[in-house]
Structure 1
Amino acid sequence: MMSLPDSDSEDELPPGWEERATDDGAVCYVNQQTKVSQWTHPRTGRSKRITGELPLGWEKYYDEQSKRQMFLNKETQQRTNIDPRLAFAVEEPTLNVAQVRQRFDSNSRALQVLHGKDLHGRLALITGANCGIGFETARSLALHGCEIIFACRNLSAAQEAIERIAVERPAARARCRSVSLDLASLRAVQQFVAQIKQSVSYIDYLILNAGVFGLPYTKTVDGLETTFQVSHLSHFYLTLQLESLFDHRTRIVVVSSESHRTANLPADHLTVQHLSPPAEKYWSMIAYSNAKLCNILFAQELAQRWKQRGISVFSLHPGNMVATELSRNYWFYRLIFAIVRPFTKSLQQAAATTIYCATANELTGLSGLYFNNCYFCEPSKLAKSEPLQQQLWTHSERLISDLITTNN
């Protein structure tokens, strides 16, 4: 395989840096020594984009063996994974949220968001993908060629979900597989990560979708309140353990909820007891709201910590009281969800914002944003509290360290 010459831009890159182009044309800068990646030129601070058609005689194809997009010069038979248009990349204005035009809204469906996209060669790992919004997210991506790992506690339900997709698109069966993940156990998360790392070298989309709602007071095998561990702590641990499988092309999407606005976590002096309360201080609705606030706090802090690596992290609200299995744990919530069902989003509409965060080209280079109805939305004041974000991170790390040490 031959290599193309470096970009002929007059702005010479520092030693050890390389230019790479994403599938949507954004130019990323990667330091081969430190493995740091960023969307702006390390010297000029400006961003670039490639535009236009491939040069005459060149064609793009997906190589099944290397699992990457390749370029072929049909005249010389030169093959490379470097886009030949990089030499002609042009500078573009600094990325600005205000310049992103709203293309979709509350009525948009996931498949509309994906219209015209070819996701062959992409890999998505989705927690809780066997039902509800998680399933609709997996289905929509799979129908567009994406490989899907169904990270689920119930493997039989996950396999049934895969078969449902295969009825629509038989070729999708080979691209979908289920792997056991019990978020109520940190040891199970460890085992899951070990299994994934044996079979996967890279993850394009990590979609943290799973959660629980309306539970009576219960504890996990690790001794923590279940809503907190399943909805936040195990996802936190999972993400950090999978870090070696991410790079500047990866997007991490955290499914939160507008319920985070009713959370009662203290802005100062957060304690483990606030996060995982005892039975006498437990109320299922507040536990859910607090967990959803934790989702956004985690996403915001992660976005800051991994900003230099070029990894995009987003959180979102899928929709109000969508008809999923989330309400299955208490008859009263099932009744309420049934009553409002005619007035809420369909599963396709509810999955649209997740799909948008994972795949929208215009979000390349952005991070740390919260979305509702496929567009930016301001989260609560608590969610934007940097001290609270840092306190949650510290407590989460300490809890995991203590539990792992105890379990071993």
Structure 2
Amino acid sequence: MNLPESDSEDELPPGWEERVTVDGSVYYANHLTKNTQWTHPRTGKKKKVSGELPFGWQRCADKNTGKVIYVDHENRRTTYTDPRLAFAVEEKEHVNDYRQRFDASSTALQVLHGRDLNGKVALITGANAGIGFETTRSLARHGCNVIMACRNLAFAEEAINQIKEDKPIAGENCIAIFLDLTSLSSVIQFANTVKSKYDRIDMLILNAGVFGLPFSKTQDGFETTFQVNHLSHFYLTILLRPLLVSGSRVVIVSSESHRFADLTAENLTSLTLSPELPSKYWDMMAYNNSKLCNVLFARRLAKNLQAYGISVFSLHPGNMVSSKLARNWWLYKLLFAIVRPFTKSLQQAASTTVFCATAEELTGVTGVYFNNCFRCQESDAAGDDVLANLLWSTSVEMIQSVLGNNAPGLEFEKT
């Protein structure tokens, strides 16, 4: 893609002023010639901003002059400059053209700066701790209603109380609902509860995951890491599909570990359906394979939903981020503790998730893998459509093996 050489190209020549219409179209006024135009005088490109004012801002008229003013109620200041101009983005010639605005050091709150998410609904799995909690807190602070899908409701309520202490109104935007990803029946019950309370989901964020587990099987008879990290999320997405509307986004938290997976079309069935302990089971490889499944699922799902205006993204949040992910073995705890000073903070780790869920420049983009808030090339295996299709059909078969051929939501998911 073609990117500007530097941000200096956006600087206006002397005598020019940037303004914005109520509907978000940016135009340029030349005070020397008294003319206006829609294109930037240097780049020749048009810009747009969100039609909504940033969170906490109000547009009104000055009682004395009658001029339009903008009031920032959060910081108690007033200006004549439309604050939306700070978030203007160029109209793209191609849907996948966009400039990198954030990087590895960016935080979720920086990504959301100025955004008003009032009225939006996000559903986040594993929302009470780690990256999921920071994602929840950041979205809720900007007005988003967050459904926290958690196995431990006591911990979830503690998380909500922590958000309330930080910003009371943000905590009021959060609700916790029980979800156990080791149980397909729990996934069904959770989905039914959500569908009874909400008529749409704007952001479905599949964040929960386990790491470093010794070999174990869920109550459904599947290897635990595979079911928690992939299969239950796969089924949850299928069940919640009726709540996804045009403009909704599905964000799947994967990992760069997907590059080291050994999953192939030849061994997929044996690795996922094996009922007993494999002779060479390694918890790290089980995790790598589950993360590859995340990217493959995102790839196939994006193709399925593209015609409906629903975007799907997968992402890497950061390397060895200090969260509860490493809680299952003392050695992993030690390793994560040692590298903690050199890795991302939880706020930084949540930035790419939040970017994929909310960034306006990603409107119309789908099926892309992100790292550090920017597009990243996934592994060759992750781009294998044959493997992605096989994973999809195998996942359906696995669910039907437990719930029967008439399992809810799978009527149109045979292939």
CA distance in 2, matches of 1:211, 1:274: 18
Decide which moves more: 301-310 or 398-407: 398-407
Q: Does 1:384 align with 2:383?
A: yes
Please name the residue that 1:273 is paired with: 270
Displacement after TM superposition at 1:96 (Å): 3.5
Please name the residue that 2:325 is paired with: 326
Kept after mapping to 2: 8 A contact 1:120/1:145:
yes
The match for 1:141 among 139, 142, 145 is 139
Displacement after TM superposition at 1:325 (Å): 0.3
Displacement after TM superposition at 1:269 (Å): 2.9
The match for 2:176 among 146, 170, 178 is 178
CA distance in 2, matches of 1:53, 1:242: 27
Please name the residue that 2:219 is paired with: 221
The match for 2:244 among 203, 227, 246 is 246
1:105-146 CA-partner distances (Å, limit 9, x unpaired): 000000000000011101110000000000000000011111
Displacement after TM superposition at 1:60 (Å): 9.0
CA distance in 2, matches of 1:389, 1:282: 23
Structure 1 204/50 Cα, relative in aligned 2: closer, same or farther at 3 Å? farther
Q: How many residues align?
A: 329
Amino acid at match of 1:271: L
1:186-212 CA-partner distances (Å, limit 9, x unpaired): 000000011111100000100000000
Q: Does 1:289 align with 2:288?
A: yes
The match for 1:209 among 192, 207, 210 is 207
CA distance in 2, matches of 1:399, 1:237: 10
Please name the residue that 1:66 is paired with: none
Gaps of 5+ in 1: 1-22, 26-48, 63-91
Please name the residue that 1:167 is paired with: 165
Structure 1 24/185 Cα, relative in aligned 2: closer, same or farther at 3 Å? farther
Please name the residue that 2:365 is paired with: 366
1:10-42 CA-partner distances (Å, limit 9, x unpaired): xxxxxxxxxxxxx988xxxxxxxxxxxxxxxxx
Structure 1 216/95 Cα, relative in aligned 2: closer, same or farther at 3 Å? same
Structure 1 177/303 Cα, relative in aligned 2: closer, same or farther at 3 Å? same
CA distance in 1, matches of 2:341, 2:172: 36
- Aligned residue for 2:350, secondary structure, equals helix
CA distance in 1, matches of 2:342, 2:351: 17
Structure 1 60/257 Cα, relative in aligned 2: closer, same or farther at 3 Å? closer
Amino acid at match of 2:322: A
CA distance in 2, matches of 1:361, 1:218: 42
Amino acid at match of 1:179: I
Please name the residue that 1:306 is paired with: 305
1:62-118 CA-partner distances (Å, limit 9, x unpaired): 9xxxxxxxxxxxxxxxxxxxxxxxxxxxxx655332x21000000000000000001
Structure 1 24/224 Cα, relative in aligned 2: closer, same or farther at 3 Å? farther
1:137-168 CA-partner distances (Å, limit 9, x unpaired): 00000111111111000000001000000001
CA distance in 2, matches of 1:366, 1:53: 17
Please name the residue that 2:85 is paired with: none
> Structure 2 length as normaliser, TM-score?
0.76
Please name the residue that 1:151 is paired with: 149
CA distance in 1, matches of 2:273, 2:336: 26
Larger radius of gyration: 2
Displacement after TM superposition at 1:333 (Å): 0.4
CA distance in 2, matches of 1:106, 1:24: 30
> Structure 1 length as normaliser, TM-score?
0.77
- Aligned residue for 1:248, secondary structure, equals strand
Please name the residue that 1:70 is paired with: none
- Aligned residue for 1:204, secondary structure, equals strand
Amino acid at match of 1:144: H
Displacement after TM superposition at 1:272 (Å): 2.4
